[in-house]
Chain A
Amino acid sequence: IFKISNMKLILHNMLTSAMIKGVKKGYPLLLRATKVELQPVEFDAGFVVHMLPRLDWSGVTAAVQCLNQPDLLQDPLPELPPTVPDDYANNEDFLRKAHIALMQLDVIEGCLVCPETGREFPIAKGIPNMLINDNEAA
């Protein structure tokens, strides 16, 4: 009965596996996507400007890099600089690329992986399942 949605990279930016016992940082999670689509999402410059200081930019570039697989996406991936430019608030070109990465790249199928333990978290119906077993908990 339920309709699905897809996981956006802005959500990936928030997620960590640090609740697992022994994990020191658990960030950024590796993104192993098997199906990705570029969705039309209206560009809102003000929204991107507000969100950028709250995001971990290295997580954004890492996630996009994970999607840089042959035949995964028909459209080209946005080219992101390694750091957020100082003039980001007025740099529309940069903001548009950031918007594509954060809001338009939909992960339809795949999983997230803890960078320290290799533990996989499946993404089902667009919702990442980050539940762990009792014996994995810190």
Chain B
Amino acid sequence: QQQRPAAEAEAALEERFVHRVYSCMAPALACADEGGSGGCANRRGPPACVRDLLRDLPPGCLLADLGCGHSAAALSRLAAARGHLAVGADICLDLLLAANDDWHRRRSRGRQRRQPLLVQADVLRCPLRSAAFDAVTCVSVVHHLASRDRRRRLLAEAARLLRPGGRLLVTAWAFEQPGRPARSFNCQDLLVPWGAPEPPQTPALPPPPKPPPRPAWQRRLSSLPLLAGLFGGGGSGGGSGDCQADSSDCESDSSDCEFRIREFPASSCPRRHTAGDCLCDGACGAAGAPASEGRRLRYYHVFRQGELADCARNLGLDCLREWHEQGNWCLSARRMPPSYY
């Protein structure tokens, strides 16, 4: 019961600063050049890590793409080239219709025959059969979820969909950004403008209600992997190493966070993107977004190194590899057989 108001606030935040924004932007995404301007991940179709996964899988696999967005047709085409079948699920009908539109355009140019399979769904309440999929991709989705609990629920759903041995690929915007010198955001929970970067006008949201502080003995216990789940997962936001020293920082990230407005550093987003330069997931609105679109804020929880793997703990997933790719953390994991959990 204590969780209820917070859970509603989280869902409301996502509705206002994720779903509504994408719905508004869907027509612009649909009209963009092939490959889309909605995000550098989509600039030339799905990102490299997804292409690699499709190549690694033996031919003829079934893949679920959670939070597929408007690039579902592009993924579907890439999957079909390897004999795979991809099912795309997204909460936003406008993005799915944009994906369909994209397919029609490709089809009329003779570039894609097989229609993408799309379903409108909440990826936290996923209407797909358990253990039916050889692979699940979740590209640039988990960073739009407003609490660790919800982010874990997404990964739990992904794990549920996978057959034993199936592969999971999750990507999320990184707190640590590449560059010389390397930079990071000043906070993990952000509202990022989409469109011409101007100094933000909107006042910061009030912070969510603070849960009562946990006694020291509980914080120490929760840093032990086995018990982390029991105490709500706080105190484990850092890397895979000893969390003891960082426990107060982790707690402040996950429970005390203020949703600050961060003006995205415009100087780091050249108007003409080149591979490797892009830092912003299209937030600067470069490459085609009309200037009159105005500024829309999108909510992001940017991930620290090791945080994706930490989020995936005790969900029946064996984390294989985490790496940094174009400003995002990528995690590759394998579904363990039922006897392991």
Interface residues in chain A, defined as those with a beta carbon under 8 Å from any beta carbon in chain B: 1-6, 8, 10-11, 14-19, 27, 41-42, 46-47, 49-51, 54, 56, 124-132, 137-138
Contact = CB atoms under 8 A, between A and B. Distances in A.
B125 A132 contact: yes
B62 A51 contact: yes
Contacts of B96: 127
A28 to B, nearest CB: 10
A124 B96 CA distance: 11
A137 B125 contact: yes
Contacts of B128: 14-16
B101 A3 contact: yes
Q: Sorted from nearest, which 5 A-B pairs have the closest CB atoms? A: A50-B60, A2-B97, A130-B127, A19-B125, A130-B121
Contact of A2 (B100, B122, B129): B100
A125 B96 CA distance: 10
Contact of A4 (B100, B120, B126): B100
Contact of B115 (A5, A15, A16): A5
Nearest to A56: B129
Contact of A8 (B27, B115, B121): B115
A42 B134 CA distance: 24
26 contacts: A1-B101, A2-B100, A4-B100, A5-B116, A8-B117, A10-B85, A11-B87, A14-B129, A16-B127, A19-B126, A19-B127, A41-B113, A41-B114, A47-B60, A47-B83, A50-B61, A54-B62, A56-B132, A125-B97, A127-B97, A127-B119, A129-B93, A130-B119, A130-B127, A131-B120, A132-B122
B154 interface: no
A15 B85 contact: no
B83 A50 contact: yes
B119 A128 contact: yes
Contacts of B120: 127-131
B59 interface: yes
Contact of B119 (A11, A42, A49, A51): A11
Given A2-B30, A47-B83, A11 B129 contact: no
Nearest to B117: A11
Interface string B127-165: 111101010000000000000000000000000000000
Nearest to A11: B117
B27 A1 contact: yes
Contacts of A14: 64, 87, 117, 128-129, 132
Contact of A131 (B30, B64, B91): B91
B118 A127 contact: yes
B98 interface: yes
Nearest to B122: A131
B103 interface: yes
B104 interface: yes
B121 to A, nearest CB: 4
Contacts of A19: 122, 125-127
A41 B113 CA distance: 8
B85 A17 contact: no
